[in-house]
Structure 1
């Protein structure tokens, strides 16, 4: 029976990697998750390195195993939207979660291949980090991209967040992977691994010395409204009307400079809203001198592509034209149907799931106050704040400077899961990258105010109905990341891999 021992060992290793991947995902939710993930990755490299002597097939499956564990735990909230809200059969919902997790794990497997390819290289840690960066960048745009649950966002609670204003979240990812590899080689190269780790950790505080953005004007009084309405209400006209009434009354009860309600606060098409509703909000804005921003279902007249509706943020300012922002980066299957997949949408009941796509160069939202210069806000809707390079590009190419960011979101689709906390960390990373404060107005949470350093300044508890009142300081200026985007870190990564391949051929 000795011949069966290798098979048993292999299966134990695959299970261990799956469990380690799940623990790695769970660690992101902890207060110092960005620190904890580094030694966990070290354990994963140790397990994968043991597979180097085995067939490529086993190595590939092993590297897939930890990615599958990571994404199954990190993305299980998709089951809630498909089964609990959408009404999809539970087995099909489970399969969809595993299918998406498997697709994401494939990227992690590709990123891990450099351990096998460059196993004898003296710079194997740098090559692994470079490959990981390129694969994560690939994950952000293949099939419209889904870079959720990357290693970078945990660095808002980790050692490498300070590099985000310079080189972005991908640079944080690079350092996390590199540091975890240096920790791995300590067992054989104590001096090299120890000195390099000590140097990088001592260097990190220096990145916080420079501030690239500065306060502009007087602080802005804001109110962020969290309605806490169950997603099931969208299937009930009476429930939708109660939601519209709540947000209408809540906004009209405020006296702040800026009042923000979440995504689809008014969840009927714009032309079907109660008569006079938008006009009455304009009258309130004129009288109170308050600026309003809220989510609606936009409606286009005679659309050339046949897509009549859009996911829209509508802005109403005192004695000003109505502002609108249509969501540009749509969620596959949730907000648009990829060609050939209409059968999938028919498996569960989600209305308005084929939205029109907004332009990428839409103007920023002007917020005016008497006697002061306008403040401009970059608007994102829901998971658009996952895409840091797209946001940086908008800030870089706009003819008006952005002074803060506003994200409106409805995560009621995902119930009591870790999805709101995950998106909050992504918003924190966006503030770090851009040096701008951010406002998050959500239906069920997490409604929050973020500083230009990504710190949470105030927030409401999840699943409560309430209003978050705060003073927010606008900022002006651009970080190096906004100016350069991902070009520097991608160039460094490409050069490192070219160097590694040249050296591999020589030896």
Structure 2
């Protein structure tokens, strides 16, 4: 029988021609477009979507299945980048509001800055996909194999045990890097969508990155099972399917476990939400109006603890109006109320100059002359400090920004009726390891977490609900209740199980009152931090590099 034209061409093909054919057989453009659309859809997994963890699991199943269609590490990395770009550009678009609406940056420049930032964030899922491909996929074919089989470089990956564990490990490692490099930006870490999802029970064990590891593993195992079933290998498909279902079942059952216990008497708290417009904070009249409003809210009714938002008193603590300071001291002494308020810290020099500005919380306790002070440690790039070489970018925004001094990584708690409180400011609560470290290293571990923030920079956007979801993860990880006092929302009380027990409507002036029970004891995550998931991921990736199926084929 005569050879076909295609067969004769393959016999005459040189390695260079084979490489050219492989390049021509690159993934079509719509493959990356579909990955980008899936990433954009993944934003819907996060708050305010209720129970979005199930949607996220389905999208990760698609994402991993889509990765297995790729033929080399480059196409895998581009697929991961496309998924990440779609996720981040739709998930953190509210940064445009802060740059354009409140920062005064021209709309084209603000939009370009947002796109560039999301392209940077997309490098991390691209890195995860590339690492996975090296551990579980293809390597260069043997010498001469390209000539004998031009398609040897363009075979799709196959879902394997190596691949499933490598994907989970590479994904968790990339998310940890995103939350660490250049001071970190772990917003939209995949584990956050699981606070109401099937994998929330793992949070006290391995933290948000460990939850993301579990999510990626379960998704990969399901793809592995579906693929083997599709190819009529029903018996081998049972093992990955059974493991995936067991991990899901454990995640649903683990919330029944108790890691911390009640400690000290419950506190009656009042959380204040002044709803002060962001643009008013830069005007003297607006500052005075904010001080008057918060004085009224603070002194309206006593409580064991009264908390204002971040920089609710937008002046240097030493220059606060005397009537305000005296009113707070008198109210605290007469009613037995402890007051925690946000203001600007600093040091006055003998010649009247101010040095070492800090974003701080100050605490008054009844009949005590000592003023508690917490200085923010994890500062916001471009908001509270200017990264080297980016002064030009800050100059494009009409916001009086400057370089703040950093507080110590671990600071003493604020004590209210023998109940220690671990306080943090603004987006410090998106760094779970830092909160776990504070609880782990403090000589008096706190029983209640407190976050004071001002999200007015981002308008009435999904940032408010996303930040509340992040705070809920901190409660799950530490087994402690969280109190959130915000300027515009979402002011809320979260119990030790991550459930929101009270919340004020956004963009309203109000006071949220609640009784809060502190806890004692450490969860496994507080004890070990991110070390567990990092160690497991690195070991599995090392094994994948050394013994993965791709290496054996090479």
| TM-score under structure 1 length normalisation | 0.94
Match of 1:158 among 184, 197, 219: 197
Query: How far apart in 2 are the matches of 1:122 and 1:435?
Result: 33
In structure 2, relative to structure 1, the CA distance for the partners of 1:277 and 1:197 (3 Å cut) is same
Q: CA deviation at 1:339?
A: 1.6
Counting only pairs closer than 5 Å after superposition, residues 463-478 of structure 1 correspond to structure 2 as 463-478=507-522
Larger-Rg structure = 2
Query: How far apart in 1 are the matches of 2:334 and 2:213?
Result: 52
Query: How far apart in 1 are the matches of 2:377 and 2:26?
Result: 49
Counting only pairs closer than 5 Å after superposition, residues 302-313 of structure 1 correspond to structure 2 as 302=349, 308-313=356-361
Q: CA deviation at 1:307?
A: 5.4
1:13 aligns with 2:31: yes
Query: How far apart in 2 are the matches of 1:307 and 1:180?
Result: 52
1:265 aligns with 2:312: yes
1:104 aligns with 2:148: no
1:324 aligns with 2:395: no
Q: Residues 312 and 343 of structure 2 are in contact (CA less than 8 Å); yes or no, is this contact kept in structure 1?
A: yes
Question: What is aligned with 2:398?
Answer: 349
Query: How far apart in 1 are the matches of 2:25 and 2:287?
Result: 57
1:179 aligns with 2:218: yes
Question: What is aligned with 2:60?
Answer: 41
Q: What whole-Å deviation, never above 9, does each CA across 1:422-473 have from its counterpart, x for those lacking one?
A: 1111110000110000100000000000000111011011111111011111
Q: CA RMSD in A?
A: 1.9
Q: Which runs of 5+ in 1 are unaligned?
A: 369-373
Q: Residues 268 and 516 of structure 2 are in contact (CA less than 8 Å); yes or no, is this contact kept in structure 1?
A: yes
SS at match of 2:322: coil
Query: How far apart in 1 are the matches of 2:216 and 2:517?
Result: 35
Query: How far apart in 2 are the matches of 1:10 and 1:319?
Result: 72
Q: What whole-Å deviation, never above 9, does each CA across 1:388-412 have from its counterpart, x for those lacking one?
A: 0111011100011211000001000
Q: CA deviation at 1:272?
A: 2.9
Query: How far apart in 2 are the matches of 1:358 and 1:352?
Result: 18
Q: CA deviation at 1:237?
A: 1.2
Q: Residues 76 and 129 of structure 2 are in contact (CA less than 8 Å); yes or no, is this contact kept in structure 1?
A: no
Counting only pairs closer than 5 Å after superposition, residues 111-130 of structure 1 correspond to structure 2 as 111-117=128-134, 118-119=136-137, 121-130=160-169
Q: Residues 431 and 437 of structure 1 are in contact (CA less than 8 Å); yes or no, is this contact kept in structure 2?
A: yes
Q: Residues 139 and 147 of structure 1 are in contact (CA less than 8 Å); yes or no, is this contact kept in structure 2?
A: yes
Q: What whole-Å deviation, never above 9, does each CA across 1:310-364 have from its counterpart, x for those lacking one?
A: 1001111101211010100000111101122111111112224321111112111
Q: What whole-Å deviation, never above 9, does each CA across 1:46-103 have from its counterpart, x for those lacking one?
A: 22222225xx544433321111110000110000000000101111101111111111
Query: How far apart in 2 are the matches of 1:16 and 1:193?
Result: 26
Aligned residue-pair number? 495
1:284 aligns with 2:331: yes
Q: Residues 192 and 469 of structure 2 are in contact (CA less than 8 Å); yes or no, is this contact kept in structure 1?
A: yes
Question: What is aligned with 1:133?
Answer: 172
SS at match of 1:468: strand
SS at match of 1:168: helix
Q: CA deviation at 1:38?
A: 0.8
Query: How far apart in 1 are the matches of 2:316 and 2:485?
Result: 20
1:170 aligns with 2:189: no
Question: What is aligned with 1:50?
Answer: 69
Q: Residues 384 and 404 of structure 2 are in contact (CA less than 8 Å); yes or no, is this contact kept in structure 1?
A: yes
| TM-score under structure 2 length normalisation | 0.86
Question: What is aligned with 1:80?
Answer: 97
Query: How far apart in 2 are the matches of 1:246 and 1:71?
Result: 37
Query: How far apart in 2 are the matches of 1:276 and 1:159?
Result: 52
Q: Residues 307 and 354 of structure 1 are in contact (CA less than 8 Å); yes or no, is this contact kept in structure 2?
A: no
Q: Residues 77 and 128 of structure 2 are in contact (CA less than 8 Å); yes or no, is this contact kept in structure 1?
A: no
Question: What is aligned with 1:220?
Answer: 267
Query: How far apart in 1 are the matches of 2:331 and 2:25?
Result: 71
Q: CA deviation at 1:489?
A: 1.5
Q: CA deviation at 1:288?
A: 0.7
Question: What is aligned with 1:93?
Answer: 110
Q: Residues 192 and 208 of structure 2 are in contact (CA less than 8 Å); yes or no, is this contact kept in structure 1?
A: yes
Query: How far apart in 2 are the matches of 1:8 and 1:254?
Result: 68
Question: What is aligned with 1:371?
Answer: none
SS at match of 1:308: strand
Query: How far apart in 2 are the matches of 1:438 and 1:461?
Result: 18
Query: How far apart in 2 are the matches of 1:8 and 1:194?
Result: 31
In structure 2, relative to structure 1, the CA distance for the partners of 1:75 and 1:440 (3 Å cut) is same
Match of 2:470 among 426, 430, 448: 426
SS at match of 2:28: helix
Q: What whole-Å deviation, never above 9, does each CA across 1:478-499 have from its counterpart, x for those lacking one?
A: 1111111111221111111111
Query: How far apart in 1 are the matches of 2:496 and 2:256?
Result: 14
Q: CA deviation at 1:277?
A: 2.1
Q: CA deviation at 1:34?
A: 0.9
